[in-house]
Structure 1
Amino acid sequence: MSNEQHPAMILHQLTTEFLAAEDKKQLYFRLLNRSISLCGYKRAVLFKVDGKRAKFLAVSGKSGVDSYSEMVEKWEKLASSLTEKDCPQLLNASSFPAKEAEHWQFLSDHTNGLSVYWLPIKPWGKTRYALWFERWEQDEWTERDLQLLSLVGVSAKSAFERLEPETLCRSISCKLFSWRRLLGATVVLLTVLLSWRVPLRVVAPCEIIPENPFIVTAPLSGVIAEVLVESGDPVKAGGPLFDYDPRVVNEELEIAKQQVKILETTMRTTKLNALNSKKAKAELAILDYRLKQENVRLKMAEYRASKLNVQAEVSGSIIVDNPEEWRGRPVEVGQKVLMVVDPQNINLRIWLPEADNVNFSNSTEVKVLLNAFPDDSLNAHLKYVAQSVSVSPEGVPSVMAEGTFADLADRAGEKLRIGLKGSAVLYGDKVSVAYWLLRKPWASARRIMGI
């Protein structure tokens, strides 16, 4: 009776050790090296089974093996070539295709007659691991040996299930996954990608800008003393905008006036002397020319003095950079200082990246998502797309486009304000889903690889 109980006691001990393994590495070691106490064998190998492929994991008697060694390569080829990996079986040369038989012969020659028992392990009902038990020197397996090793497979199954708990994703994949189903799903997916057509979608940065703004430029070359308005201030025609530093201009005006007075006095004296002196009469023509010249300079100085206080020519709202930064800044004639705009007349400016300059028509609808109001969207229509490439404020080579808001009358006073930024979503011609997904990656690959 003790001889009959002995294998049961060993199996109980092995099962306890397998279930007590803290990780897979420890379980591998115990499976390969402790199972020999139940049934003798010369060598055991553990494989990870994934479909048709069997990957080497560990071998008995060694803590580590080079996974690229010749022996490992032969084991993997033989195990992967098995057609019935889910069934426990005794292996011999006839179990493998002719192409792999030479690997079996190699192992058999080096063991003086090889006999192998293939034992699949099926945690959660699917073959995921397999044990390869070897006996050498023509030592054959008995029916009792196979029964005992089969019990090792049952214990190993429970141990793997403890280390690999069943999850919803694993359960679904086990039920749904198969190569046939995967192939069918791939065909359906490719058919959808190639046949289903969707509008080509482009997302570009945008900004709300004024329509037909009145640009106020510097009328004189000089230094600005102070900007009298700030952004958003209302202004009426004739209202003050900014002042120049008057010191240089007033000094030029005083000098011009003094020069005119001096020449006028000299002219009067020379006219009296010209009655008796031919020399004075000759100088009279020169003085007359110089007086005209100085009068022109005086008028220029008076004009410059009249422009020291710049006023608005139209009514509207002010748009200007930081007014404090303009104080003491020198400007040239024609340099932009500020703008006067009508807050109710606005447009949408879009910066289309150069790579996204696809075909758009003037009837293209634009969906506007403003950063300040992420919970709402606005509708606009594309007005025009420029034909040249320029650099956007973000420093990206882009094509500038403009659009008009479709619901301006209802939304202008509510949310639309000049200066708001966001993203514009434009829809071009309809293309296949495959093109829609691969357009940018393919363009990047062509640019990088030159194909």
Structure 2
Amino acid sequence: MSDRLNHQLLRLTLLLQLERRARLAPADELPFVIVNETTELLPYRQALLWHKKSARLHAASGVATPEKNSPYALWIKPILQHLCRDQRADAVMAFTAEDVSAELARDWYEWLPEHGLWIPLITPNGSQYGLVLLRESEWTESEMQLVGYLAETYGHALALAAAGPPVRSWWDRLSSKKLQLLIVGALLAAACYPVRQAVLAEAEVIPVKPNLVRAPLEGVIETFYVQPNEVVKVGQKLFSLDMTQLRSRLDVAQETRDIAKTEYLQTTQQAMLDPTVKSKLAGLKSKWDQQVAEVNYVRTLLKRSMVTATKAGVMVFDDPNDWLGKPVTQGEKILAVADPGIVELEIRLPMDDLLALEPDADVLFFSNINPHKPLQAKLNYFSYRATPTPADIMAYRLKANFTDTTASPRLGYRGSAKLYGARKPFILWLLRKPIQTARLWMTW
């Protein structure tokens, strides 16, 4: 008898403690307290807090915030909606898989324990929440009565958390003439306040006066000996053209040269015995010299087919596989050798974002690598006309020199450049695009 009395006193104490926690819990923490701390009074394995009006799972035990699109939430939602429509839903009721349709109970034992308890949390404006407790053992009558007292406390706590100060409409707030004058004055002051015009555009770090390497003659690129961003020295091999045709041409030229030489020498010997043959010597000697020049020329072409670096620096080009086997014409740009320490900023400013920029205008470069550390630069070049970009956008090409040459970014870095123009009233900056569009319409 004494143990039973102590057990009842312990449950009463826990009930009072839970009621106190619910009343003192902040509004954003109250659902978490309901589904997780109720287990101190009644043992269970799962607890769910269902909001009837929004048909949303408000809280679940063991998680901070339930994911509404999770498989568990999507599966349990129709079951909770079915429980809300039950005739016994206005009071505490126990339920099992047999209380729902066969379709809803198909995966019951995969997700839920066998026995559930529906607890309506009554609020002054009607029951809007339902607490569901689930476990393997059956619910006793005494537990259902005990949780009924706790449900009233939870309902009042949820109603108090949802209540707030009366919402005052904007019209009521603006009804004061003094406030209206202050707002109008603030808007006029803000509209007339001079702000510095600025625009964002794509930018890339490029080399300054790179050494362009072009195709020495017409042919097909056979081999690349370097990779992009590789550091090369003077005289290092860069790429070579296909020499098969030139080697064949050299063999033919050498053979023709040897034949011309043999004819000339034979005719020279005959001229010693027959003076009439001497007239042919000049022509044969000219033919021999011509073939010698042809051999020397083809050898020069073979040497030029192997392109080497004439300046030390970093290789600037795309994937070498894009060039292998590709026919090129004489003078076509293949790659560039640049000094990685001497770079500048290339900016592509779309025509629609064009604004008046003075020489030496301030520029901030936000690289994709370190956007939180912008680099300062000064505008030094503005193209005469707009040209299409790879994205088929007409844009002007601008260049800017970095102010701090000791902290120049890496060659090839990309990012966004912010260009600053003159100061104009804020209203003109704000309405720049609408005014531009209106001007186009008015010219029709």
TM-score over 0.5 for the pair: yes
- RMSD over aligned Cα, in angstroms? 2.8
**Is the contact made by 2:207 and 2:344 (CA closer than 8 Å) also made in structure 1?**
yes
How far is the alpha carbon of 1:286 from its aligned partner? 3.0
Indicate the residue corresponding to 1:446 in structure 2: 439
When residues 361 and 214 of structure 1 are mapped into structure 2, their CA distance, relative to the original with a 3 A threshold, is same
Indicate the residue corresponding to 1:31 in structure 2: none
Cα deviation, 1:89-122, whole Å, max 9, x if unaligned, reads xxxxxxxxxxxxxxxxxxxxxxxxxxxxxxxxxx
Return the index of the structure with the highest Cα Rg. 1
Matched, 1:367 2:372: no
1:419, 1:305 → 2: CA distance?
34
Q: Residue 425 of structure 2 aligns to which amino acid in structure 1?
A: S
Indicate the residue corresponding to 1:384 in structure 2: 381
1:287, 1:167 → 2: CA distance?
114
Q: Secondary structure at the match of 2:262?
A: helix
Cα deviation, 1:253-306, whole Å, max 9, x if unaligned, reads 111111111111111223344456677444433333333332332221010111
Matched, 1:428 2:421: yes
When residues 446 and 211 of structure 1 are mapped into structure 2, their CA distance, relative to the original with a 3 A threshold, is same
Matched, 1:333 2:330: yes
The farther-off stretch of 208-217 and 242-251 is: 242-251
Indicate the residue corresponding to 2:253 in structure 1: 256
Indicate the residue corresponding to 2:399 in structure 1: 402
When residues 260 and 198 of structure 1 are mapped into structure 2, their CA distance, relative to the original with a 3 A threshold, is same
Indicate the residue corresponding to 2:239 in structure 1: 242
Q: Secondary structure at the match of 1:387?
A: coil
1:289, 1:446 → 2: CA distance?
76
2:188 to 186, 191, 205: 191
Q: Residue 203 of structure 2 aligns to which amino acid in structure 1?
A: C
1:215 to 212, 217, 222: 212
Indicate the residue corresponding to 1:266 in structure 2: 263
Indicate the residue corresponding to 1:344 in structure 2: 341
**Is the contact made by 1:253 and 1:305 (CA closer than 8 Å) also made in structure 2?**
no
Matched, 1:312 2:285: no
Matches within 5 A, 1:48-447: 170-171=167-168, 173-178=170-175, 180=177, 184=181, 187-189=184-186, 191-274=188-271, 280-409=277-406, 411-412=407-408, 416-447=409-440
**Is the contact made by 2:174 and 2:180 (CA closer than 8 Å) also made in structure 1?**
no
Residues paired across the two proteins, number: 285
When residues 333 and 167 of structure 1 are mapped into structure 2, their CA distance, relative to the original with a 3 A threshold, is farther
2:382, 2:234 → 1: CA distance?
34
How far is the alpha carbon of 1:349 from its aligned partner? 0.5
Cα deviation, 1:358-393, whole Å, max 9, x if unaligned, reads 332232111111122232211111122122222223
**Is the contact made by 1:216 and 1:340 (CA closer than 8 Å) also made in structure 2?**
yes
Q: Secondary structure at the match of 2:201?
A: strand
Indicate the residue corresponding to 1:95 in structure 2: none
TM-score using structure 1 length: 0.58
Give the gaps of 5 or more residues in structure 1. 1-21, 23-164
Q: Secondary structure at the match of 2:334?
A: strand
TM-score using structure 2 length: 0.58
**Is the contact made by 2:233 and 2:311 (CA closer than 8 Å) also made in structure 1?**
yes
Give the gaps of 5 or more residues in structure 2. 1-52, 54-161
Q: Secondary structure at the match of 1:313?
A: coil
**Is the contact made by 2:387 and 2:394 (CA closer than 8 Å) also made in structure 1?**
yes
Q: Residue 348 of structure 1 aligns to which amino acid in structure 2?
A: L
When residues 447 and 167 of structure 1 are mapped into structure 2, their CA distance, relative to the original with a 3 A threshold, is farther
Q: Residue 447 of structure 1 aligns to which amino acid in structure 2?
A: L
**Is the contact made by 1:192 and 1:433 (CA closer than 8 Å) also made in structure 2?**
no
When residues 260 and 173 of structure 1 are mapped into structure 2, their CA distance, relative to the original with a 3 A threshold, is same
